[in-house]
Amino acid sequence: MLKTIKSAICLIVMTTCAMQASGSTGNDNIVSVSAPEFEKEIRSDSVQLVDVRTPQEYAEGHIDGALNINVQSDDFKELAQIELSKDSTVLVYCRSGRRSLDAAEILTSLGYNVVNLKGGIIEWKEDGLPVVSEQEN
């Protein structure tokens, strides 16, 4: 009995580590990609780009063409359903990839097809990709 429990715990730990190493979110409907892949997705037809950071973060610099819907606002679900179409893929990003993963999970549960920028705008900038600020618009 004890051996069976130890085996089960070991299997759970190994599965969790494998998921973390592979970048899997545990939700098979969410795809997380690197900045170069995300840029390719943006260039695709019929996608919706969403910055899920705060309005202040968005104003300081965002990917050109991004809509700002703050995932931390109480009305995130409602705003997303008003602003976004389920007919095209939703590309989400935040600062580091954590909040956008939360947003991706929410949007997926609402029936959207979602792609997440794994490293957020930090990775985007590190890869030399452009951002715009409110002052430039």
Which residues participate in catalysis according to the annotation? 94
Question: How far is C-alpha 89 from the chain's CA centre?
Answer: 12
* DSSP code, position 26: S
DSSP string, 67-115: EE--TTSTTHHHHHHHH--TTSEEEEE-SSSHHHHHHHHHHHHTT--EE
Determine whether 110 is exposed, middle or buried from the number of CB atoms within 10 Å of its CB (0-12, 13-18, 19+): middle
First-to-last CA distance in the chain?
A: 66
Q: How many residues does the chain have?
A: 137
